[in-house]
Structure 1
Amino acid sequence: MLTDVAITNPFPGLRAFEEQEDVLFFGREKQVDELLKKLRTVRFLAVIGSSGSGKSSLVKSGLIPALYSGFMSGAGSQWRICTFRPGSDPIGNMARALAEDGVLFHPQNTEEQLTLGAINESILRRSSQGLVEAYRQSNIDTKNNLLILVDQFEELFRFSKLEKDAKEVKRDSVAFINLLLRATEQRELPVYVVFTMRSDFLGDCTEFRGFPEAINEGQYLVPRMTREERRDAITGPVAVGGGLIASRLINQLLNDVGDNPDQLPILQHALMRTWDIWKKKGDPDAELDIDDYEEIGTMQHALSQHAEEAYAELTSDRQRKICEVMFKALTDKASDARGIRRPRKLGEICALANAPINEVIEVVDVFRQSGRAFLMPPASVKLEADTIIDISHESLMRVWDRLIAWVDEENESAQVYLRLCEAADLYETGKGGLWRDPELQVALKWKEAQAPNATWAGRYNDMFEKVMLFLDHSRSQYELEIKHKEEQQRKRLKKARTLATFISGIALIALFLSIYSFQQKNVATKQTKLAEAKTKEALEQEKIAREQKLIAEKNREQALSQKALAEKSKEEALKQKDIANDERTKALKSEQNALLQKSIAEQQRSYAQRNEQLAKEQQMIAEEQKKKAEQNEQLAVSEQKVSNRLKDLAEARNLAYQSVLLLNENKDKESIDAALKAYDLNNRQHGPEQNTDIYNALHFNWVNSIDNKNQSLFHKYAVKSVTGKAGSNIVFSADESGQIAMFMSDGEKLQLLHSINTRQDIRSLVMSTDGSKLAAFSAAGVMFVYSITPEQAIKEAQQVRFTGIPKTAGYHNGSFYLYTSEGLSRFSADGDKMVANGSIARKDINAMTVSGTGKILLAIGNKISMYSGWDALDQPIQTFTSAGTLVITMAMDPTEHYLAAGTYKGMVWIKDLKSSNSTYSNALHLSSVNDLEFGKTADGKVQLASASSDQTIKLIDVKDAVSANRLEDIVTLRGHNKWIYALHYAANGSLISASEDNKVITWKPATSDLYKSVSALSK
């Protein structure tokens, strides 16, 4: 076989060197010796290196031939090698590899090999000692060393993630690791384990208990080859193959490779192609030279150019489509952004491509024929339905431009499908709604372009049928809504025409009436002047009369006062006379009594002296008992106070509950009294200011008293955004029809000041700090900039285009900042105009907010990074990890004391930025948190409001939450009947919310403020 290699091509290309190709493997002699020493010591060897560093070749064509040659002292030369990859069935793959001829058995045919594989798998799954037991039951001579070689070990981490996503109780990935560890810990049987793994997956090893410790003992990090070693790797195979290579080509290759370790497969591929070009020329005495190397496109383009040549050999669109589906299936960037190979059975590829096996084999053979080896297995292996097809090396994923585009396209397609899975699951459980534009249109275009099937979807999630039903239902519902809106529009137009005709008639009648009114007005004016003169005279007479009356009343009051004073003096004199007589009688009696008491005192003095000593002793005892009694009394009083307080607090909540029941029975006065008593009792016992029961009792009474006028019904479509002018009670809201409204908030309701219609779906509103400019961002990619006039009117200034669907916007120091589905954009003032002033393409961002001092916060997954400004987005000044999963909204309070984040699963996270340990995290909502807003309530407390798709708003006392006192309740506001999109605190302390149900609602977030309003109702 080596002779054949020498005759054809001594370079393997992208694939790794195999065991029988050791005579072609050069440049790694030192590393082979180091591996032998390490393996002899630990029996568990982890060969770690970056992609393309030659890990597999080092083990297969370096270590294994050395073992067969007996170069590992104390182990001999009798070795059984079990080589496999984990794939999606690590234990099953190991069992089948152990059953291959020459490992533990010598099966006579395929059927016997399958049977042995099943037996092995049963033994391996029995316990963590399964690998040792399988060796023991094979009855081979214990002088035979067993080497378990696990190639591409990183595949196990992808499999482990799938297990965790499926919430498997017994995980094969954990059992597989334990089999390897237990086998190498024992010394009774000669079992060794070697595996190869990409270094960027080292962190994933910590997932398995005991695995990092074993790697630390047996890790071998593949070093970079020196320039001389790379020279040997180039010249050695050429010499074995019987060729010559020019020195200048050697130097050119060494320079092109540089110090980048992942260039080795590309180097091997370039040498293989160069050898083929040299061989075609038919001059064995000529050297491989620069012209041969440049003809194949050099290392920079050789691989991509070669792959394109193979792709060009596909003769039909059908074959090219099969090729695209196949390579998308063999690569994986959706489950791991680092990009890994994903081997698949040929039968699976046929199902994905909806093609018969013979058509797929034709395409596979194009990419695995001699001199290419883009796919495995080699061309010499016959393909069957269960044959594993794999890309020969990750380098192809990084270099072939067409495959790079396919991988990105597949990743985007997978992300759309996974989002649909999540939405369908939430809808099924009643925690989410159907999709609407623009998400719906994106999904429908995806379905039409990608034509997904159940086999493809099964790679990511098994909810394909549910997803398709969800998508169809969403489209049907959307079409019904459009039809309904069109019908409503026709009715409104018809009504408007009828109304216009009626108004015209009324106007004509009004004209005649106005003429008659003018005539009558002249007559009334004359009568009015006469009446005014008479009225003036009457008022003067009335004034004189009032003055005379006041003088008379004053004189009468003085007379009465003098009379009362005289009578009082007379009574006092008589009283003093009686007192003097009584005192004289008492004095005589006291004198007689004093003489008697003197005699008695003399007698008692002698008794007192005898009892004095006894009294002192009794006094000491009494004082001690008194102290104990006082202590017990204080304890009893304290316990009684606690008991009374808890009783009163419970009674307060009961009164609040009774208040709501009374209100439902239309007993308004009784309900108000009960609500006020509940608040007073709670306040008197120093209960929590923010209590859900008491808040609801007061809130429902307040809303009932104003006849639900806190709900603005101006908008006729879903309201997506609400904002306001800083330090004022001016509020702006915008809906999906493009209607932007300007209101004045009085703390209870909204008064419409002005409105304007953009006729585009407005997704976000943001206002400049000085209140002079309002920016509205539409789903169609248009930024509408408005100036707000001193007369409180909205005046359009200009329109600016941007790309992507807007998510969140912010403002600082003359610039608007926008986060869209495509990345970040900044718009700044240029004279009187706003112009685009920078953009950053970032699709990995899922939330953004801008602080009052210009800090920009970006969320990727559940990681939050804080940047000092737009020009410093490459270096965060602080990073945080929020609890839960994907962060979709953030907020920072105006003083930059607190940072809050909300996730798509309903988690709310609050961080005290002034304290490293003060953090609050809790799943407050049943669905996604759509908006967060900090505000100061009417009683001065810092409060966080969170709006969710579960149709509720939560009010959180921030200081209480982050300090972990948990004294205050988290109040739940219910009033919307669809998703709540946005929140805003007005300067008067009221909270404004916007929802899918077309409503903009005003709330009083402070319980004390509600109490004042309800108290006024009882007077």
Structure 2
Amino acid sequence: RLLNRMVEDDPQAHFLAVVGPSGSGKSSVVKAGLLPALRHGRLPRSETWFFAEMSPGNHPMHELESALLSVATSPVHNLAQTLALDSKGLARAINQIVPQGHEMLLIIDQFEEVFTQVPQEAERAAFLASLQAAMNDPTCRLRVIITLRADFYDRPLMYEGFADLMRRRTEVVVPLTTSELEEAIIAPVRRLGIGVEPELLAAIIADISQEPGTLPLLQYALTEVFERREGNTLTLSAYQASGGALGALARRAQELYEAMDSDRQALVRQLFLRLVNIGDGTEDTRRRLSWEELTSFAGDGPDLQYVLDTFGKYRLLSFDRDPITRAPTVEIAHEALIREWVQLRDWLSSSREDVRMQRRLSNAATIWREADRNPGYLLGGAQLEEMESWAVTTDLALTDEERGFLAASIVARRAQEAREEARRRLREAQERRSRIRLQILVGVLAVVAGVTLGLSAFTLIRANNAEARAATATVALGQEQARAATLEAAAVRGENLAAEVYRSRLIALYAQQAAADGDEALALALAYAAVQIDGAPDEAWAQLAQLLDMPAGSDRPTLLAAAEAAEIRPLTCEERARYSVLPEC
């Protein structure tokens, strides 16, 4: 039937979706039935086709690249960029890889992983768009067959264009009938010269004919019976000893679990919770786990190796390698174990929300890493608060990447809070300074008047001339030139120390004025210049302390150290010229 669908008079006949319930034999009929037939030329020139297989995994575009490279007859440069360029990248890649006059068949098994394991919607949409564009291109020499669990049939229908492919090009695989089950049991062992007791045949069919996941259950049960066979016969007693088709997987898993100490049992729980994708209105499914993720939360010690070896020995776990990195992977060997092992069902029931939160954290951490740890991808707001509270209470082990991502999000939030607090304090300071702005201006005038009055009593003839200029400047040029003239008068008399004190006080008052005007950088630079003057008065030091948000009574070495740590900018030549009491550049 599948062969006939592939040669129908349909412009989209190069695509076929094989859909059926879990364990109905979708993968088997494609890989063990259709694929060998095509390799032997059942369709015109199909014996010359190129064949590749893949499962979508977490990054279907990477898996697609690996599948294409597996059939390339010569080096292919920049294949990843070609695929990612746009939706027509796959069609262009086929033209590069497949020699003229030949076709390629790509089998995508477990297509539901596109919707259960891909964390980024953009990558999922790009993958589906690439397949759709290639299938709608009449010149593209690519054929695609996907296998999809029936309970995920609605997911690809949500993508315009791909939904039309699914509507027109779907073939349904239903569970085996009783006669087909009998043939599936008897035929393989008959070729080995081994018989099957009629009672065994009846017991197996009665146990599994109405169960989901028929073929995986049958496979495991027959393997157990084969290992317990009596001579050249598979017997009912061996089947019963194994626990039967429904109980064999679960019984073996529970026996292995109970034989372990408490530390290893805890490790088994952490492992199997990571190996399951939580269904959202669908059945839970198995999940491939990379060695890097596994060892990051479980360590790489003898306990982990013992658990893997034990469950692997009895074919409850299967091991493979990532097609891109070649790093080891592990997954549950039979999806039926998720349904049948009561202990695992209990773990999933009690930890379901925990597992969902862990996957959300893991997906967010992956996106952050792939964005070169861009701070814009960190968690924030209510989402971070929720994740932070959960991490404190959960008993699920987290990977280094998950913990690091969460910690980075918390640090970023604290930094943001510190910046907001600094801005708040600055606003308050500016408001406070604005309220006393008039008082500061009055104080400036009072100090100038006091300085002028105090010096006038000791002025010599030359000083009198300078003070006269100061008086004229006060009227004609403003307060700043008056202060400068006053200091000049004091210098003429040789009262250098007094003049420096007044100069420091004036610069500190300029700093107050700059702060009141909202120019905090200039204010700090002026205040720092004021205390650099020998004999700087207490008012100058107090002004620096205020601008540094330090207690007014702070000792001078502490204030100087704080000023240096604040990296106060130097005064510019223009600013020095503006304030005549400052040394010129």
TM-score range, shorter chain: 0.5 to 0.7
Partner SS for 2:111: coil
Deviation at 1:444, TM superposition (A): 8.3
The answer as to 2:144 corresponding to 1:144 is: no
Unaligned runs of 5+ in 1: 1-30, 108-115, 165-170, 472-1019
* CA–CA distance in structure 2, aligned partners of residues 419 and 104 of structure 1: 37
Instruction: Compare CA radii of gyration and give the structure with the larger one.
Output: 1
* 1:134 equivalent among 67, 70, 93: 93
The answer as to 2:270 corresponding to 1:325 is: yes
Identity between Structure 1 and Structure 2 (%): 25
* CA–CA distance in structure 2, aligned partners of residues 130 and 334 of structure 1: 32
* CA–CA distance in structure 1, aligned partners of residues 205 and 340 of structure 2: 19
State the TM-score, normalizing by the size of structure 1: 0.36
* 1:200 equivalent among 144, 151, 159: 151
The answer on whether the counterparts of 1:330 and 1:342 sit within 8 Å (CA) in structure 2 is: yes
Deviation at 1:335, TM superposition (A): 6.3
The answer as to 2:17 corresponding to 1:49 is: no
Partner SS for 2:147: strand
Alignment-derived partner of residue 163 in structure 1: 120
Alignment-derived partner of residue 446 in structure 1: 393
* CA–CA distance in structure 2, aligned partners of residues 141 and 259 of structure 1: 47
Instruction: Give the number of the structure with larger relative contact order, counting CA–CA contacts within 8 Å between residues 6 or more apart.
Output: 2
Residues 233/467 of structure 1: CA separation in 2 closer, same or farther (3 Å cut): farther
Alignment-derived partner of residue 705 in structure 1: none
The answer as to 2:396 corresponding to 1:396 is: no
Residues 416/194 of structure 1: CA separation in 2 closer, same or farther (3 Å cut): closer
Alignment-derived partner of residue 186 in structure 2: 235
Alignment-derived partner of residue 67 in structure 2: 97
* CA–CA distance in structure 2, aligned partners of residues 392 and 157 of structure 1: 20
AA matched with 1:42:
A
Q: C-alpha deviations, 1:619-638, integer Å up to 9, x for none? A: xxxxxxxxxxxxxxxxxxxx
Alignment-derived partner of residue 599 in structure 1: none
Q: C-alpha deviations, 1:470-502, integer Å up to 9, x for none? A: 99xxxxxxxxxxxxxxxxxxxxxxxxxxxxxxx
* 1:364 equivalent among 278, 298, 308: 308
Deviation at 1:270, TM superposition (A): 0.8
The answer as to 2:345 corresponding to 1:374 is: no
The answer on whether the counterparts of 1:333 and 1:340 sit within 8 Å (CA) in structure 2 is: yes
The answer on whether the counterparts of 1:266 and 1:299 sit within 8 Å (CA) in structure 2 is: yes
Alignment-derived partner of residue 198 in structure 2: 247
State the TM-score, normalizing by the size of structure 2: 0.60
The answer as to 2:28 corresponding to 1:70 is: no
AA matched with 2:311:
F
Unaligned runs of 5+ in 2: 365-376, 415-585
AA matched with 2:393:
W
Alignment-derived partner of residue 355 in structure 2: 414
* CA–CA distance in structure 1, aligned partners of residues 211 and 148 of structure 2: 18
The answer as to 2:125 corresponding to 1:174 is: yes
* CA–CA distance in structure 2, aligned partners of residues 368 and 131 of structure 1: 37
Residues 263/466 of structure 1: CA separation in 2 closer, same or farther (3 Å cut): same
Partner SS for 1:63: helix
The answer on whether the counterparts of 1:368 and 1:376 sit within 8 Å (CA) in structure 2 is: yes
Alignment-derived partner of residue 274 in structure 1: 225
* CA–CA distance in structure 1, aligned partners of residues 59 and 332 of structure 2: 19
Deviation at 1:359, TM superposition (A): 5.4
AA matched with 1:363:
V
* CA–CA distance in structure 1, aligned partners of residues 354 and 25 of structure 2: 33
Q: Map of 1:204-215 to 2, 5 A cutoff? A: 204-215=155-166
- Structure number with higher helix proportion: 2
Alignment-derived partner of residue 292 in structure 1: 238
Deviation at 1:381, TM superposition (A): 11
The answer on whether the counterparts of 2:221 and 2:242 sit within 8 Å (CA) in structure 1 is: yes
AA matched with 1:289:
T
* 1:86 equivalent among 50, 56, 80: 56
Deviation at 1:34, TM superposition (A): 5.0
Partner SS for 2:16: strand
Partner SS for 2:228: helix
Alignment-derived partner of residue 191 in structure 1: 142
* 1:341 equivalent among 267, 286, 298: 286
Q: Map of 1:549-564 to 2, 5 A cutoff? A: none
Residues 351/410 of structure 1: CA separation in 2 closer, same or farther (3 Å cut): farther
Alignment-derived partner of residue 467 in structure 2: none
Deviation at 1:152, TM superposition (A): 1.0
AA matched with 1:377:
F
Q: C-alpha deviations, 1:994-1013, integer Å up to 9, x for none? A: xxxxxxxxxxxxxxxxxxxx
The answer on whether the counterparts of 1:332 and 1:407 sit within 8 Å (CA) in structure 2 is: no
Misfit runs of 4+, over 6 Å:
416-422, 431-435, 467-471
Alignment-derived partner of residue 251 in structure 2: 305
* CA–CA distance in structure 2, aligned partners of residues 333 and 374 of structure 1: 19
AA matched with 2:268:
C
AA matched with 2:111:
F
Alignment-derived partner of residue 60 in structure 1: 31
- Structure number with higher strand proportion: 1
* CA–CA distance in structure 2, aligned partners of residues 54 and 419 of structure 1: 32
Deviation at 1:395, TM superposition (A): 1.3
AA matched with 2:249:
L
* CA–CA distance in structure 2, aligned partners of residues 333 and 432 of structure 1: 20
Residues 308/262 of structure 1: CA separation in 2 closer, same or farther (3 Å cut): same
Q: Map of 1:858-869 to 2, 5 A cutoff? A: none
Deviation at 1:313, TM superposition (A): 6.1
Q: Map of 1:350-361 to 2, 5 A cutoff? A: 350-353=295-298, 355-356=299-300, 360-361=304-305
* CA–CA distance in structure 2, aligned partners of residues 386 and 306 of structure 1: 28
Q: C-alpha deviations, 1:103-153, integer Å up to 9, x for none? A: 12378xxxxxxxx5x732122112222222222223x43343211111111
* CA–CA distance in structure 1, aligned partners of residues 235 and 151 of structure 2: 37
The answer on whether the counterparts of 1:420 and 1:467 sit within 8 Å (CA) in structure 2 is: no
AA matched with 1:275:
F
Aligned residues: 399
* CA–CA distance in structure 1, aligned partners of residues 9 and 245 of structure 2: 35
Deviation at 1:443, TM superposition (A): 5.3
Residues 106/53 of structure 1: CA separation in 2 closer, same or farther (3 Å cut): farther
Partner SS for 2:46: coil
The answer on whether the counterparts of 1:154 and 1:197 sit within 8 Å (CA) in structure 2 is: yes
The answer on whether the counterparts of 2:94 and 2:141 sit within 8 Å (CA) in structure 1 is: no
AA matched with 1:148:
L
The answer as to 2:93 corresponding to 1:154 is: no
Residues 310/463 of structure 1: CA separation in 2 closer, same or farther (3 Å cut): same
* CA–CA distance in structure 2, aligned partners of residues 34 and 415 of structure 1: 43
Alignment-derived partner of residue 553 in structure 1: none
CA RMSD of aligned residues (A): 3.8
AA matched with 2:234:
L
AA matched with 2:206:
N
Partner SS for 1:308: helix
The answer on whether the counterparts of 1:80 and 1:145 sit within 8 Å (CA) in structure 2 is: yes
AA matched with 2:73:
F
Residues 468/319 of structure 1: CA separation in 2 closer, same or farther (3 Å cut): farther
Q: C-alpha deviations, 1:164-216, integer Å up to 9, x for none? A: 4xxxxxx1211211221222223334310011111111221133220110011
AA matched with 1:119:
N
Residues 213/53 of structure 1: CA separation in 2 closer, same or farther (3 Å cut): same
AA matched with 1:356:
D
* CA–CA distance in structure 2, aligned partners of residues 240 and 39 of structure 1: 39
Partner SS for 1:366: helix
Q: Map of 1:772-783 to 2, 5 A cutoff? A: none
Q: Map of 1:573-584 to 2, 5 A cutoff? A: none
Partner SS for 1:77: helix
Residues 99/347 of structure 1: CA separation in 2 closer, same or farther (3 Å cut): same
